[in-house]
Amino acid sequence: MPSILIDETHDPARESWVESANGHGDFPIQNLPLGVFSRGGDAPRGGVAIGDMILDLGKLALSGLLKGPAADAAEAAAAPSLNAMLALGAEPRRALRRCISALLAKDAPERAQVEPMLVPMAEVQMHLPAHVSDYTDFYVGIHHATNIGSLFRPDNPLLPNYKHVPIGYHGRASTIRPTGAEVIRPQGQTKAPTADAPSFGPIAKLDYELELGVWMATGNDLGTRIPIGEALDHVAGLTLLNDWSARDIQAWEYQPLGPFLAKNFLTTVSPWLITLEALAPFRRAQPPRPEGDPQPLPYLWDEADLREGAFSLDLEVYLSSAAMREKHIAPMRLSHGPASNMYWTIAQMVAHHASNGCQMQTGDLLGSGTISGPEHGSQGSLMEITRNGKDAVELPTGETRTFLEDGDELSLAGRFTADGAVSIGFGQCTGVVAPAKV
């Protein structure tokens, strides 16, 4: 497990000559996340967020301001995806971060050379940061698993294997989109509890799931494993992830093989990849397991991961109906809670995924599964908040919701905070529900 590396890029006193970065809620100079953007008719290329601007890595690569591994990383990032850059591993990524931080720091002598490389965020289109090789969604939010299980198995909400193995399923990479992609209400085969036979049509129980996305930087050869102590060496960084879910399809299809069409119609991610280097000040000890819980098997157990495998991260979900937006009413917060509600760590997810020799690849995306808390107001899905539609949520307009309706805008937000560190965030992860295409 790589130790926490704090350097000058995390200095809370460091400010940027890009004025919008100073005090920015998501993208101060201490963050410097990676993404892919395009402007006008230009080809997509890599960039770094700084305040409300983007530093064009294609132009930076040609500037002559970078040398060695930092130059290699910038050159690799000057492409329609960051896969080539991520495949270089952590050291070139860290070198590029340190150079960019110095170039953007207040009083940097290179300001006149760098300033023309900035592009206003408001003028760009964001793309996925990497070509997604494969997508796997885990189920590491223990309170979500308990909340959902209690709806259907009140006497035994957690299945026996949950505390022994990080459970996951293979999702659909082709339907992953960056924030802002239209959420077209899916159609599918469903069966109401009182119906004699199933029917096909637009689904009624459209839901969201609040998750973290994990971008893989490097993988492993087929037939080999990734030791847990090396797992984070293979991870590039994190994103927010919304695993849109059709609960009525899910209820009818999931036995005996689990999620399929209920989950694969769309997955939304925030487009900025927050690197592990930026997250160093926010690494925390994994919360201790409750007394009596089994200790993971040796391939899932690492003392360093226990000490610094979790993150000090607060997560929030907001809902805005079409009527709310028409009346200029602020979005309503549906839930909030800490990411420490994850029962399994990211390193445990990666190590388990490769434990049977499965080949992980650059650009693979892992979802954490829904992150919920045990209290009302901390749940990460409407399925939990409304108890499968039994308890409606009232909006400021007087409207009610059990599940998402056409015109609803759903937004995820996340903020990393720690004493003595400048807080950083992910940026937007949003989607507006559109009617089914019948």
The pLDDT value given to residue 3: 58
Q: Are 429 and 269 in contact (CB under 8 A)?
A: yes
Q: Which of 2-16, 108-122, 169-183, 385-399 has the lowest mean pLDDT?
A: 2-16
Say whether pLDDT at 375 is over 80.
yes
pLDDT at 97: 98
Same domain, yes or no: 412 and 393: yes
Determine the longest span between alpha carbons in the chain, in angstroms.
Answer: 74
357 and 426 in a single domain? The answer is: yes
- In-domain check, residue 2: no
In a domain, 192, yes or no: yes
CB 120 within 8 A of CB 37: no
pLDDT exceeds 70 at position 1? no
Does position 359 have pLDDT exceeding 90, yes or no? yes
Within a domain: 3: no
Q: Check whether residue 145 and residue 122 sit in a common domain.
A: no
Whichever domain contains 69, its CATH number is 2.30.30.230
DSSP sequence for 310-358: EE-EEEEEEEE-HHHHHTTPPPEEEEEEEGGGBSS-HHHHHHHHTTT-P
Question: Is residue 67 classed exposed, middle or buried when 0-12, 13-18 and 19+ CB atoms within 10 A define those classes?
Answer: exposed
Say whether both 58 and 167 belong to one domain. Answer: no
Contacts for 419 with CB less than 8 Å, ≥ 6 apart: none
* DSSP annotation of 432: E
186 and 110 part of one domain: no
One domain for residues 120 and 194: no
pTM of the model: 0.96
pLDDT at 414: 98
405 shares its domain with 430: yes
The 10s digit of each residue's pLDDT in 42-66 is 999 999 999 999 999 999 999 999 9
Q: What is the pLDDT of residue 126?
A: 98
pLDDT at 2: 53
The end-to-end CA distance of the chain, in Å, is: 50
For residues 289-300, give the mean pLDDT.
96
Tell whether 1 is covered by a domain: no
Please state, in angstroms and rounded to a whole number, the distance separating the CA atoms of residues 102 and 171: 40
Confidence of residue 88 (pLDDT cuts 50, 70, 90): very high
Residues 209 and 338 in one domain: yes
Burial call 313-332: b when 16+ CB within 10 Å, e when fewer: bbbbbbbbbbebeeeeeebb
Is there a single domain that holds both residue 74 and residue 173? no
pLDDT given at position 152: 83
Q: Which of 24, 143, 144, 352 is catalytic?
A: 144
Tokens of 260: 């399929």
| Identity of the residue numbered 365 | L
The reply to whether 33 and 65 lie within a common domain is yes
Has 336 been annotated as catalytic?
Answer: no
pLDDT category of residue 298 using cuts at 50, 70 and 90: very high
Same domain, 81 and 196: no
pLDDT at 379 over 90: yes
Is 29 part of a structural domain of the chain? yes
The boundaries of the domain holding residue 46 are 8-127
- Placement of tokens 């990080």 in the chain: 166
Our count of domains for the chain comes to 2
pLDDT, tens digit, 9 for 90 and up, residues 307-317:
999 999 999 99
Stretch 15-41: mean pLDDT, rounded?
97
CATH number at residue 250: 3.90.850.10
Domain boundary among 89, 108, 127: 127
Decide if 141 is inside a domain.
Answer: yes
Q: Residue 52 has what DSSP assignment?
A: T
Last residue of a domain, one of 127, 157, 178: 127
Residues 53 and 144 in one domain: no
- The answer to whether position 264 is within a domain reads yes
Last residue of a domain, one of 68, 101, 127: 127
Residue 156: the pLDDT is 84
Mean pLDDT of 222-251: 97
Lowest mean per-residue pLDDT among 97-101, 279-283, 287-291: 287-291
- Flag whether 416 is in a domain: yes
Q: Does position 210 have pLDDT exceeding 80, yes or no?
A: yes
